[in-house]
Amino acid sequence: MNFEYDDEQEALRDSVKALLGKAYGDFEQRRKAVDADPGFDDSTWRRLAELGVLGLPFAEESGGMGAGPVEVSLVAEEVGRVLAPEPFLATVVLAGGLVEAAGSDEQKAAVLGPLAEGESVVAFAHLEPGGRWSPTATAVTATSSGDGWALDGVKEPVPHGARADVLVVSAALPSGGTGLFLVDPAGTERSGYAVHDGSRAARVTFSGTAATPLGDGGDATATIATALDRTRIAACHQALGAMSFQLGATTSYLTSRKQFGVTLNTFQALTFRAADMYVSLELARSLTLWATLVSIAGSPEEIADAAARASLQVSKASRHIGQEAIQLHGGIGMTAEYAVGHYTSHLTALEHWLGDGRFHLSTLASCIGDHDEVDPIP
Amino acid sequence: MRLELSAEDAAFREEMRTFFTTQVPQEIRDAVASRRELSKDDIVRSQRILNAAGLAVPGWTVEWGGRDWTPLQRHIWHEEMQRACVPIPLAFNASMVGPVIATFGSQEQKERFLPPTANLDIWWSQGFSEPDAGSDLASLRTTAVRQGDEWVVNGQKTWTTLGQHGDWIFCLVRTDPDAPKKQQGISFLLVDMTSPGVTVRPIQLIDGGHEVNEVWFEDVRVPAANLVGEENKGWDYAKFLLGNERVGVAPVGQTKRVLAQAKEWARAGGVLDDPLVAAQFADLENDLLALELTALRVVAHSADGKPHPASSVLKLKGTVLQQAVSELVVDIAGPASLASGATADESDVDDWARVATPAYLNLRKASIYGGSNEVQRQIIARTILGL
Ligand SMILES: Cc1cc2nc3c(=O)[nH]c(=O)nc-3n(C[C@H](O)[C@H](O)[C@H](O)COP(=O)(O)OP(=O)(O)OC[C@H]3O[C@@H](n4cnc5c(N)ncnc54)[C@H](O)[C@@H]3O)c2cc1C
C-alpha cells in the first residue's frame, strides 16, 4: 500500500502547477479570463495541450498519453487550486472519456486527436431541464430515418455547450435505453450563458438534428454511468485543490487581519474553526485518494460505490470549508474582488453539476443492507 | 400560560393580514416571492403605502408616527408582513436612524428628519464600518474636526449597503482622538450625501450583485446642527441602534415562507418523495418552529421594556436557518442551478432555480453583518452566561 505519488507523477504535477500558477496565480487574471466568452483563456488551453494534459487519459492510438486516473487527479487538483476556468473535467475527462469508452477507432481518432491538440472543444450534452443526475436521457429522443439518425428535444445546462465544436449527446432510443451520439452543433440552436462561478453553460435545442451513433449505438446507460463516476472522482480532486486554497487563504488571513489591536489568530474561537476545516479537508482527501485507486482497476460497481462515497465526503467538506472560509474572512470574503468567495461559488457549481451530497447519500442508503462492514482494502 | 391569541390580538392579526395582502401592489409582492431584486422605486412605493396607513414605523414614539402596540402586536405586524411578501420598511430608516433621532435628537432634528425618514423621502445609509473597523467598530478612524459651526469630515466608510441610493448617511466619526477610551471619542453625525467631497464607489459581491459600496469623505463640511445628541456620546447611540438592528434581523417569517415555497418546488420537481429531502424539510421546519416560539416567548415576556436575554438567540439562529434554507433550495434546483447567468429567454430553467445559488451565496452575509455570529456568541457567553 502506498498513497505517495511517484517521481513521474510529481513531475507532471509540478509542470501543471507551474503552467496554471503562471496563468492564474494572480486572481485578477482569472477574473479577466472568465469575464469574456468563452469563459477561459485559449492560449492557456493550447499550453495545456502542448503539455499533453488534454489527451492525458486517452490511449496513444487515439492521440492521447495513455495515463490513468492518478495523473488525471493530479491535474484536476491543480485546476481546482487556482480555479482555472479551462474545461478540463467537462471536456477531457467527461466528454472525451465517453468517446474513448464508446467510440469506434475512427471516431476516437477524429474527436480525441483534435481535442488532445487543443484544436477542438468537446462537450457532453446530457442534463435535461427538470432532470437530476440520472445516467439516462428522456427529454431528448433519437429516431432513425432510413440510413441516419435525428435528435429532438432540449438539453440544459450543457457545460461549455455554446463554445463546443463537437457535442456528445445522450438521447432516449426508440427501442428503450439511452444512446450516445456525436452531433455537429451547427445543426442545433444554442444559447450560452455564464454560470455563477464564471464558467459557461448553454441550452441546446435539437430539432430533427442529424446525429451519428457513438460506436455501435445501442444502450449506453452503463457507459454513461461509469463516465460520470470517473468524472465525479476527478471532480473530488478538483474540489480538494479548491478547498486547500481556501484553507490556506483563511489561515493566512487570520494571521494578518487585525481587530481589537491583535491579529485574529489570537482568538481560539477562530483558530479552532480553522482546525475543523483542516479535519474536513483531510478526511475528504483520504476518501478521494482511495476512490481514485479503486477506479484504476475496479469494476463499474466498485467505481460507482467509491465515487458515491468520495462525493458524499467532499460535499460535506466543501460546504463546511466553503462557508467557513467566507465567514472567517468577514465582509471581504463576500466580495468579487477577493478570491475566497469564488471558490465557494465554484464548489457549489461543481457539486450540483455532478450530483449533490444527498443524492450520493441516497444511493448509499439504498444498499446499506448489502454489506456488514465497509473494507477499503481489496 | 396559554397559547391562543386574545380576541383583540387575533383581530389585530386579521387586520394586518388583510392590509398587507390587499393594499401593497401584487407586482411588488410577486418580486419578493420570486426572490428577485427589488428596485429602489418598489421599496419606496411599498414603504409609502405602509406609512400612509401608519404601518411603517410602529416602533417609534407615538408622537412621530409610532403605534402604542404591545411587543406581541409588533411581532405579529412583522411576521404578517413577511408572510404576505411585503418588503420590510427600510431598516436604515425605520429601525436604525429613526429611533436614534427620536430618542436622542434635538427637537429641530426630529421635525426635520423624522417625517421624511418614515416616508422614505430620505433614503438613509449606514456609515459605521471601515476597512479596519469591522467587529472592532470602536477603532474607527474617520474624523470630524470642528471648524466654526461646521464639522469637517475625512475618512472612508465601507460595506455601505445600498449607498448608491442614499440621500443621507448616518456616520460614526471620531471627534476626540485623545479620549482615554476609544469608545469615548466617537460622535453620531448626519451627512447629506450630495455634499461636496462625498464619493460612493461600488463593491461587487460574489453573487455578481451591487448592494454595498465604499463611501469616501474628503473635507466634507457638515453643519454642527447635524450632530445627534451629545458630542463624544456616539458610541452609546450606536449600541442602542445595534441592539435594535439585531432584533430586526431574524427574519423568521421570510425564512418560513421560502421553505414553504421550496416544498412546492421540490414537489413539482419530484424530489419531495426522496426521504432524505423530506427529512431535511422536516428538520428545518422544526428548527424554525423552535426559533419562532423563542421569538414569541421573547415578545410575550418583554412587557417591562427590557429585552429578554434569549433575544440574542434570534439573530444567531435566525441567520443560520435562513442560510440553511437557501442551501436546500440550491439542492432542490440541482443541476438547473447552473443556469444562474441566463436570462429567461436563454433558458428553460425556472426563475427560482436560476437565482438559487446567487441567493445562497449572497446570504452568507447574514452571519457577518449586524454583529457577526461570533460576536453574537460572545454576547451570549459574556452577558447571559457570565463567562
Ligand atoms: C453584505 C454586507 C452588508 C453590510 N452593510 C453594512 C452597512 O450598510 N453599514 C455598515 O456600517 N456596515 C455594513 N456591513 C459591515 C459589517 O457590519 C461588517 O462586515 C462586520 O462588522 C464584520 O466586520 P469585518 O467584515 O471587518 O470582519 P472582521 O471584523 O475582520 O472579522 C473577520 C472574522 O473574525 C471574526 N472575529 C472578529 N473579532 C473576533 C473576536 N474578538 N472573537 C471571535 N471572532 C472574531 C468575525 O466574526 C469574522 O468571522 C456589511 C457587511 C456585509 C458583508
CATH number of the domain where residue A28 is located: 1.10.540.10
Domain count, chain B: 3
User: How big is chain B, counted in residues?
Assistant: 387
- The pLDDT of A116-123, averaged and rounded, is 97
Q: Is the CB of A257 under 6 A from ligand 1?
A: yes
Domain count, chain A: 3
Q: What is the pLDDT at residue A311?
A: 98
Q: Inform me whether the pLDDT recorded for B247 exceeds 60.
A: no
Q: What is the pLDDT of chain B when averaged over all its residues?
A: 94
- In terms of domains, do B257 and B165 share one? no
B62 confidence band (pLDDT: 50, 70, 90): very high
Which contiguous run of DSSP H or E holds residue B217?
strand B212-223
CA B96 – ligand 1 centroid, Å: 17
- In terms of domains, do B194 and B277 share one? no
Q: Inform me whether the pLDDT recorded for B36 exceeds 90.
A: no
| Region of poorest pLDDT, from A61-65, A320-324, B244-248 | B244-248
Within-domain flag for A354: yes
Within-domain flag for A377: no
Q: What is the pLDDT at residue B312?
A: 76
- The pLDDT of B148-157, averaged and rounded, is 98
Within-domain flag for A2: no
Q: Is the CB of A269 under 6 A from ligand 1?
A: yes
- In terms of domains, do A166 and A93 share one? no
- In terms of domains, do A111 and A64 share one? yes
pLDDT-above-70 percentage for chain A? 100
Q: What is the pLDDT of residues B206-232, one digit of tens each?
A: 999 999 999 999 999 999 999 999 999
Determine, for residues A156 and B339 on separate chains, whether the beta-carbon distance falls below 8 Å.
yes
- In terms of domains, do B265 and B377 share one? yes
- Choose the closest CB to B136 out of A129, A260, A352: A260
Within-domain flag for A376: no
For ligand 1, what atom is nearest to the CA of residue B131? 26
Spell out a b/e string for B105-116, using b for 16 or more CB atoms within 10 Å of the CB, else e.
beeebbebbbee
- In terms of domains, do B334 and B298 share one? yes
- Choose the closest CB to A196 out of B136, B361, B364: B361
- In terms of domains, do A243 and A361 share one? yes
Q: Inform me whether the pLDDT recorded for B306 exceeds 90.
A: no
Within-domain flag for B128: yes
Write out the residue range of the structural domain in which residue A39 sits.
Answer: 7-120
d(CA A96, CA A64): 10
- In terms of domains, do B259 and B378 share one? yes
Write out the residue range of the structural domain in which residue B43 sits.
Answer: 7-89
For ligand 1, what atom is nearest to the CA of residue B92? 8
Q: What is the CATH number of the domain that holds A229?
A: 1.20.140.10
B311 confidence band (pLDDT: 50, 70, 90): confident
Q: Which of A99, A120, A141 is the last residue of a domain?
A: A120
pTM greater than 0.95 (yes/no):
yes
Annotated active-site residue B245? The verdict is yes
Q: Is the CB of B159 under 6 A from ligand 1?
A: yes
Q: CB neighbours (10 Å) of residue B358?
A: 23
Determine, for residues A334 and B277 on separate chains, whether the beta-carbon distance falls below 8 Å.
no
B2 confidence band (pLDDT: 50, 70, 90): confident
Q: Which of A219, A245, A278 is the last residue of a domain?
A: A219
- In terms of domains, do A240 and A139 share one? no
d(CA B41, CA B51): 15
